[in-house]
Structure 1
Amino acid sequence: MLSFLLENWSLVAVALVSGGLLLWPTLVGGAGGGVAPNEAVRLMNREKAVVIDVCEPAEFEAGHITGARSIPLAKLEGAKELPSNKNLPLVVVCASGMRSRRAVAQLRKAGYEKADALAGGMKAWREAGLPVETGAR
């Protein structure tokens, strides 16, 4: 076995690298990888999920999910706009999905165990052809 590994070290390296590349999205995304837009719609329609948009106000006005609550990431902790029922599912969204993952970590720490980021953010939502509304709320 050891002689095989030594004689074929380049094949072993290629196998390890390709395996790592296959696992990378799972490892990086982890629990914060989020829900796909179609799953977010299901959560909103069937489980009454609340959509929390953590974009800055100007980004929110430029386009957001219909019915989303605007709570910029910097103001998320202790925000009055968060639902009082911590058992409700939350779909957290931003432009690309990066800020929403940080927001999910904060929300889970605050007791919102059913908080998930929208994978790909508003970019993925738009690409899925789902409705977007503009203006402030």
Structure 2
Amino acid sequence: MKSFLVLGIVIGFLFIFVKKIQSKGDKDMVKQWIKEGAIVIDVRTKSEYAEGHFSGAKNIPVDVLPANLNQLKDKQSKIVVYCRSGARSERARQILQASGYSSVINAGGLSDMPQGN
């Protein structure tokens, strides 16, 4: 009985780990999308954004994203979202996709964004 509990916990952690990996976009794809003119959105707070951000990124904190979708004109545009670790940007990706934006990628954290932009 105890071994089933341990096995269940291990499987649960593996599921969460794999899900997190799957939700983050491929770095080469992120770089390509940005090169092609994708909209880059920093979904961190305004104070986090002020401390440093990816050049050209628009700051729309994830908590106010649903109310600010009017800032994103074309639902067919490629959109790259990032935050500090990838968790808030995954939430933003889900919000955008649920709102009809078809090409959204979670780049993860600021440190995951392409260097030398």
**Where does structure 1 lack aligned partners over 5 or more consecutive residues?**
1-9, 133-137
Counterpart pick for 2:35 among 45, 58, 69: 45
Distance 1:103 1:50, change over 3 A: same
Distance 1:81 1:96, change over 3 A: farther
Cα offset for 1:83? 1.9
What is the aligned length? Answer: 110
Cα offset for 1:74? 1.1
Distance 1:40 1:131, change over 3 A: same
Larger CA Rg, structure 1 vs 2:
1
**Residue number in structure 1 paired with 2:61:** 72
Give distance in 2, aligned partners of 1:53 and 1:81: 16
TM norm structure 2: 0.77
Q: Secondary structure at the match of 1:65?
A: coil
Counterpart pick for 1:124 among 109, 112, 116: 112
**Residue number in structure 1 paired with 2:72:** 83
Aligned-pair RMSD on alpha carbons? 2.7
Identical pairs, percent: 28
Asked if the contact 1:91–1:117 (Cα under 8 Å) also holds between the matched residues in 2, the reply is yes
Asked if the contact 1:94–1:100 (Cα under 8 Å) also holds between the matched residues in 2, the reply is yes
